[in-house]
Structure 1
Amino acid sequence: MTSERPSRIAVGPSLEPAFARAVTSGGGTVCALDECPDALVWTGGHETFPAVLPASVRWVQLPAAGVENWLTEGIIKAHPQVTWSSAAGAYAATVAEHEVMFLLAGVRALPDHLAATSWTPGDFYPRLGTLRGATVGIIGTGGIGRALIPMLAALGAQSLAVTRTGRPVPGAVETFPVERIDELWPLADHFVIAAPATSETERLIGAEELSSMKPTAWLVNVARGNLIDTDALVDALTRGTIAGAGLDVTDPEPLPDGHPLWSLRNAMITPHDSNPPALRVPAYVEHVTENITRFASGLEPLAVIDPRAGY
């Protein structure tokens, strides 16, 4: 139900001009947290989040797509009267581009080319491939996975999707419920992990799953490092069980100096920067503006968090 007055929105831990403009653009008015706001837009981490929220707060917007830390710390569950929303989907296109980069670099043997110090084209021929005509398994088709599907289609690749329920995902050739995920490993040519980090997804991919993949497969992870058994992955990359991996997240993270993954040429590692600040902040501002507009109109915000599901 639409309020007779503009929604009062607090922004924390500090009020930056871009987010003040987002509040007013969305039809709200900026106020301090101690001035009985209707909602709180948070731009910082869970470490600095207030221990107690004013009773007037009905909605909180969080800046992250993954909210496992907020759940682990009990912050969300401590405020059952509040509707919480994440930034899921806000950064989808940016992260999906990173996934495509990893896949293209893998199938075109870019790591080997970058390491070369002489002109020996024939050395690379056995490892050169294409995404055209390939099938990519996407584990987790929220905003990022859905943004990836048309990017792959533009390159001539088709997608197989995995979701919790198996409800058809637009653009995917077939959608598998998570109970049938084992059917996917021998079917797809490459894999992208974009699933949330929950107790059910921890170590989702281990030695058995890796051994079921094609030896030419590239595995990309932009979700959370603990979705892959790192020791099993190192072993698979060393043995050539799969062709390689593109990792924007690792377990442990940060990946320590001297870790075996650093020395493997078929492991491409980026330091969790698939969504860099220069791109993240404008995308989050846009997401905040849309959700304030929805909140001010009495509509449910985008990306509402289900604490039971973990995302």
Structure 2
Amino acid sequence: MRARPSVTTSTGPGPSSAAGTGERGAGNGVVLTVLHEDDLPPSRDLLHDLAGEVRYARRAELGDALRGSDALLMWDSFSPALREAWHHADALRWIHVAAAGVDRLLFDDLRASDVIVTNSRGVFDRPIAEYVLACVLAFAKDLPGSWRLQGEQRWRHRVTERIDGKTVMIVGTGAIGREIARMLRAVGLTVLGAGRSTRDGDADFGAVYDSSRLAALVADVDYLVNVAPLTGETRRLIDADVLAALKPAARLINVGRGETVDTEALVEALRSGRLAGAALDVFEEEPLPAGHPLWSFPQVLISPHMSGDAAGWQEALADTFLENLRRYVAGAPLINVVDKHLGFVVSP
């Protein structure tokens, strides 16, 4: 029987080979499968240096590749392939997802298993925080309005808003939410947090409130920033009641998951003028279909799920996985271990 490293946990491109005919590497006995679609991860040579065998598989090939595999890199992080091929995972001990969110990966059999799941927490924190700050400034300074007027060659003076002294509530108090909080506080906004429980004296948020009471908390909020992971508790968390509780001058910024916002309620709030605007990077259906009402609102900023994808993001994803692969081979604690029942990495 092939010797495998013990697994412990910690919170803290070129042509592919055919599935099941993996390339031999360092000879340490670890069999790694990489699920990909078109692109392969950078630093491919290092994968072969660290793992005993590396197999590459697209969705249709994953079942064959998983037989005898110890580890799976979900480079195609949104693929449903693992659920379909789960019965072939006869030796799987560890899955790494090349993304921060794991809601599209987790299913009942995986949750019930002993397989460890890690994610790419930390890669997207700063880029997403910069995106949120950019949206705040774009709304306050009416940059979309200036671009529209420029396209019409119209010179129309307007008075813009200041952002200092405005209040932002960040829904989701994990690593990305904390980076957003630090950046927005640095430019003068008052920052509050909404998470799983109420607490005072938080280093980044000051006060954190129970997100299940969100509608009762947002009356004085100027910007509601959603970065919550998708769980049973957060699905459509931002619903008609929350949107109605916001003041008409408020804006919503969603960089979490599309399913955490009730899209129909959002469309109605924008159409009726009960919400001043929204910046949306994620949607319940992606790509956002042509003809969807959200495309037509001038007060809505739409981007195609790219808020965290700054230059070098794929290299950063690969580096995060390689660090964990080194740890796995050495039997050292893995980083970014996901609580499979909560659906995210729990901060220490």
TM-score w.r.t. the length of structure 2 is 0.76
Among candidates 138, 152, 156, match of residue 120 of structure 1:
156
| Map of 1:103 onto structure 2 | 136
Residues 223-281 of structure 1 show CA distances to partners (whole Å, capped at 9, x for unaligned) of: 12121112221221122212100001123332222222111111111111223385431
| Map of 1:66 onto structure 2 | 101
Residues 122-160 of structure 1 show CA distances to partners (whole Å, capped at 9, x for unaligned) of: xx32xx212222221000121211111221122112311
Distance 1:110 1:7 in 2: 56
Q: How many residue pairs align between the two structures?
A: 301
Distance 2:75 2:45 in 1: 12
Structure 1 residue identity aligned to 2:204: G
Distance 1:144 1:164 in 2: 15
| Map of 1:92 onto structure 2 | 125
RMSD: 2.8
Stretch moving more, 9-18 or 102-111: 9-18
Q: Does 1:289 pair with 2:322?
A: yes
| Map of 2:228 onto structure 1 | 195
Q: How does 1:230-245 map to 2 (within 5 A)?
A: 230-245=263-278
Stretch moving more, 170-179 or 9-18: 9-18
Distance 1:300 1:94 in 2: 27
| Map of 1:146 onto structure 2 | 178
CA displacement at 1:294 relative to structure 2: 3.9
| Map of 1:21 onto structure 2 | 46
Structure 1 residue identity aligned to 2:195: T
Contact kept? 1:22, 1:285, Cα under 8 Å: no
Contact kept? 2:324, 2:335, Cα under 8 Å: yes
CA displacement at 1:56 relative to structure 2: 4.1
Percent of counterpart pairs with the same letter?
33
Contact kept? 2:127, 2:310, Cα under 8 Å: no
Among candidates 198, 207, 211, match of residue 166 of structure 1:
198
| Map of 2:73 onto structure 1 | 41
| Map of 1:131 onto structure 2 | 163
Distance 2:48 2:123 in 1: 17
Q: Helix, strand or coil: the match of 2:328?
A: helix
Q: Does 1:32 pair with 2:54?
A: yes
| Map of 2:110 onto structure 1 | 76
Q: Does 1:272 pair with 2:305?
A: yes
Distance 1:288 1:136 in 2: 33
Distance 2:188 2:310 in 1: 31
Contact kept? 1:22, 1:288, Cα under 8 Å: no
Gaps of 5+ in 2: 7-26, 56-64
Residues 21-76 of structure 1 show CA distances to partners (whole Å, capped at 9, x for unaligned) of: 2675xxx434235795543323124334343465443221111222222124x562
Distance 2:187 2:48 in 1: 39
Distance 2:216 2:328 in 1: 41
Q: How does 1:203-214 map to 2 (within 5 A)?
A: 203-214=236-247
Gaps of 5+ in 1: none
Residues 173-207 of structure 1 show CA distances to partners (whole Å, capped at 9, x for unaligned) of: 21112344334211322111000112221211122
Distance 1:274 1:295 in 2: 30
| Map of 1:57 onto structure 2 | 92
Distance 2:47 2:192 in 1: 37
CA displacement at 1:17 relative to structure 2: 4.9
| Map of 1:248 onto structure 2 | 281
Residues 291/158 of structure 1: CA separation in 2 closer, same or farther (3 Å cut): farther
